[in-house]
Amino acid sequence: MSYLVLARKYRPATFDEVAAQDLVVSTLKAAIEKGKVSHAYLFTGPRGSGKTTVARILAKALNCEKGPTAKPCNVCARCKDITAGVSLDVIEIDGASHNSVDDVRELNENVRYATAGGHRIYIIDEVHMLSASAFNALLKTLEEPPAHAVFVLATTEVSKIPATILSRCQRFDFRRIPPPALATTLQNVCAKENIEVEPEALAILVRKADGSLRDGLSLLDQVWTLSGGKITIESVEQALGLIGLEIFFELTDAFVQKDAARTLSVFDRVVEKGADIEDFLDQLLYHLRNLLVARLKQHTEELLGLSETERQEYVQQAEQFAEGDVLRMMKAISDLKLNLSRLADPKILVEAELVKLAWLDSTVDLKEVLEKLESGGGSSPSPGSGPKGSFSTKPPGSFSTIGVASTEYPVRASGTAGMPSPLPSPQSFGNAQSASKASAGTTAVAANVPGKAVEGAVWKQVLDRMRKENPASVSLLEQCHPYFSEQDELILSFGRSYEGMAKLKFGGRGNGRKILDEVLAEVFGRKIVLKMEFVANGPAAAPIAPVPGSSRVSVDDWLEKYPDWKEIWEKLQLEAIERQPNRPETN
Ligand SMILES: [Zn+2]
């Protein structure tokens, strides 16, 4: 007994079996019943939505021995031939490979001959691939088709079809099969085939099928063949080489914790699993999309193809992110995807991007815009009104220093196969403090600043107030490290590259300086003497208020140890500067 693949076995054989194309089906059925079948149809819609399946059912409806009928019998010789794909009255042409004018001329020749079956149906798949001259040749036949001919032109890209062709066709739009409908269909197939399947496993198949019944059935077939018994989440992940959802939750959790090392160790595990990097990025994008949906909607019906537990997990994790942060992450990942194919070793770029995301500073501009939109374009939010537990309310992480509190680091197996780990192991930075001191020299960086660092929460108040009073200066202020000198002056320590910009904005005569002075007096409750310093190896990005109990290592130390990263680092630095929405004012 030969095995019939599920995709063929369960291909809909009647109009009523076609999922989710109600309008198309009811219109076609009515046309057949009233004897008003057109000579040319255009079926457009995503792949796997049932275009050629419906075209074949139409062929059966017209040619069934009991027809024309909207309910072809599927048992007569003509129906069976069409189902088996051997009927001489159904001509299927692949437009992608038969796209020349000669191909269409041959077709035109064929069309002239009458048929025994009543109608001959020409299904041209991917018709948008035809050449211009081929379309012209086809047009002649569409203008004066013989009575027995019915053309079904199927396409995924209707915009590429010439208007002259469109005007000759009756158009039907097929839609992607919605996940619930697809889930029901697959569930029914499983029941008929005695396939035991976990609902969560089915949910993954539905998600992967992306609205295509054919893909859904093929995936089910593939997993069933490989799993041998009950279909579980694990067997689906294994069979399809998928990365478990928990990996992505762990990854975004590491982003929230600003834990670059854990980010990399999670990615290591992905690579060890042998997962395709592009697949991984696709799934990461989808995961971020789900976070965004959970964040924005506050309800989870739109989290498609997930179990209830997973939905709850999304809702919980989404609370840790501001919308703007998720959007920026999505943008970063899609940009990365575009660049991926150009690289010989994409892995290192993905690692760099993940580290960047882990160090991503709180969204300022985008979040502000979103909140302004929410409040009807009114005033800026008051301090602390940001989303609870979002990036913005945490002491920001930094491009310039890396927290290496030993508890933050999972112990990594040394000598992981593949490439060497680019981040320091806890052991190698056991004496991080002294290493940092040694290289920091006279520059004031992070934990080694003389005097007293401004507490993160206090500095945030300053930034929030400035955001209200002088928003154009905030992103620059975010680039400095503020601390009190031994003389009780407030020193804004900038990297050398910000010197010009900072002097323009806060250099005494600038309007920004006056506002900043006022805000500082307000926040600290006393007059503050403000100074700026510019240091060669100083903070290149955001300020850091040292977290008690954690030692920090400067990037320079780190790059010295891992020179491979220098180039990437410099690139990231550059981007960090380019991203500044504010340019120095010219007047
Ligand atoms: Zn029949």
- Same-domain pairing of 219 and 85: no
Considering 59-73, 314-328, 423-437, 524-538, the range whose residues carry the highest mean pLDDT is 59-73
Instruction: Using the mean position of ligand 1's atoms as its centre, give its distance from the Cα of residue 80 in Å.
Output: 7
- Same-domain pairing of 78 and 200: no
Q: What is the CATH number of the domain that holds 502?
A: 3.30.300.180
Residue 337, domain member (yes or no): no
- Same-domain pairing of 154 and 184: no
Q: What is the CATH number of the domain that holds 205?
A: 1.10.8.60
Last residue of a domain, one of 131, 154, 173: 173
Last residue of a domain, one of 224, 240, 256: 240
pLDDT of residue 24: 94
- Same-domain pairing of 199 and 104: no
Instruction: Using the mean position of ligand 1's atoms as its centre, give its distance from the Cα of residue 176 in Å.
Output: 29
Task: Say yes or no to pLDDT of 183 above 50.
Answer: yes
Instruction: Using the mean position of ligand 1's atoms as its centre, give its distance from the Cα of residue 343 in Å.
Output: 56
* pLDDT, mean of residues 323-349: 82
Instruction: Using the mean position of ligand 1's atoms as its centre, give its distance from the Cα of residue 11 in Å.
Output: 17
- Same-domain pairing of 85 and 195: no
- Same-domain pairing of 471 and 505: yes
**Cα distance between residue 32 and residue 13, in whole Å:** 16
pLDDT of residue 77: 93
How many structural domains does the chain have?
Answer: 3
Q: Determine the 3-state secondary structure of 437 from DSSP.
A: helix
Cβ-Cβ contacts under 8 Å for 445 (sequence gap 6 or more): 400, 401, 436, 481, 535, 537, 538, 539, 554
**Cα distance between residue 130 and residue 308, in whole Å:** 46
Residue 209, domain member (yes or no): yes
Instruction: Using the mean position of ligand 1's atoms as its centre, give its distance from the Cα of residue 65 in Å.
Output: 5
Instruction: Using the mean position of ligand 1's atoms as its centre, give its distance from the Cα of residue 9 in Å.
Output: 18
Residue 394, domain member (yes or no): no
Residue 29, domain member (yes or no): yes
Instruction: Using the mean position of ligand 1's atoms as its centre, give its distance from the Cα of residue 121 in Å.
Output: 15
Q: Report the chain's mean pLDDT, rounded to a whole number.
A: 75
Instruction: Using the mean position of ligand 1's atoms as its centre, give its distance from the Cα of residue 32 in Å.
Output: 14
What residue type is assigned to position 105 of the chain?
Answer: R
Instruction: Using the mean position of ligand 1's atoms as its centre, give its distance from the Cα of residue 396 in Å.
Output: 70
Place of tokens 């030692």: 551
Instruction: Using the mean position of ligand 1's atoms as its centre, give its distance from the Cα of residue 46 in Å.
Output: 29
Instruction: Using the mean position of ligand 1's atoms as its centre, give its distance from the Cα of residue 75 in Å.
Output: 5
- CA 274 from chain centre, in angstroms, equals 21
Instruction: Using the mean position of ligand 1's atoms as its centre, give its distance from the Cα of residue 263 in Å.
Output: 60
pLDDT of residue 357: 85
The per-residue b/e assignment along 306-321, b for 16 or more CB within 10 angstroms, e otherwise, is bbeebbebbbebbbbb
pLDDT of residue 246: 81
Instruction: Using the mean position of ligand 1's atoms as its centre, give its distance from the Cα of residue 76 in Å.
Output: 4
Instruction: Using the mean position of ligand 1's atoms as its centre, give its distance from the Cα of residue 184 in Å.
Output: 28
- Same-domain pairing of 88 and 183: no
pLDDT of residue 290: 86
Task: Say yes or no to pLDDT of 117 above 70.
Answer: no
Cβ-Cβ contacts under 8 Å for 553 (sequence gap 6 or more): 401, 402, 404, 424, 429, 432, 435, 436
Residue 92, domain member (yes or no): yes
Residue 534, domain member (yes or no): yes
Q: What is the CATH number of the domain that holds 39?
A: 3.40.50.300
Give the CA dihedral 524, 526, 527, 530, nearest 10 degrees. Answer: -30
Residues whose beta carbons lie less than 5 angstroms from ion ligand 1:
64, 72-73, 76, 79
Instruction: Using the mean position of ligand 1's atoms as its centre, give its distance from the Cα of residue 30 in Å.
Output: 18
Q: Residue 142's domain spans which residues?
A: 6-173
- Same-domain pairing of 159 and 230: no
**Residue range 34-44, pLDDT digits in tens:** 999 999 999 99
Instruction: Using the mean position of ligand 1's atoms as its centre, give its distance from the Cα of residue 116 in Å.
Output: 15
**pTM over cut 0.75:** no
Residue 412, domain member (yes or no): no
Last residue of a domain, one of 202, 221, 240: 240
Instruction: Using the mean position of ligand 1's atoms as its centre, give its distance from the Cα of residue 211 in Å.
Output: 29
Instruction: Using the mean position of ligand 1's atoms as its centre, give its distance from the Cα of residue 71 in Å.
Output: 9
Residue 390, domain member (yes or no): no
Instruction: Using the mean position of ligand 1's atoms as its centre, give its distance from the Cα of residue 118 in Å.
Output: 13
Instruction: Using the mean position of ligand 1's atoms as its centre, give its distance from the Cα of residue 63 in Å.
Output: 7
**Residue range 321-331, pLDDT digits in tens:** 887 788 888 88
**Residue range 157-174, pLDDT digits in tens:** 999 999 999 999 999 999
pLDDT of residue 347: 82
- Same-domain pairing of 167 and 27: yes
Instruction: Using the mean position of ligand 1's atoms as its centre, give its distance from the Cα of residue 328 in Å.
Output: 56
- Same-domain pairing of 141 and 55: yes
Instruction: Using the mean position of ligand 1's atoms as its centre, give its distance from the Cα of residue 556 in Å.
Output: 77
Instruction: Using the mean position of ligand 1's atoms as its centre, give its distance from the Cα of residue 89 in Å.
Output: 13
- Same-domain pairing of 15 and 107: yes
- Same-domain pairing of 141 and 225: no
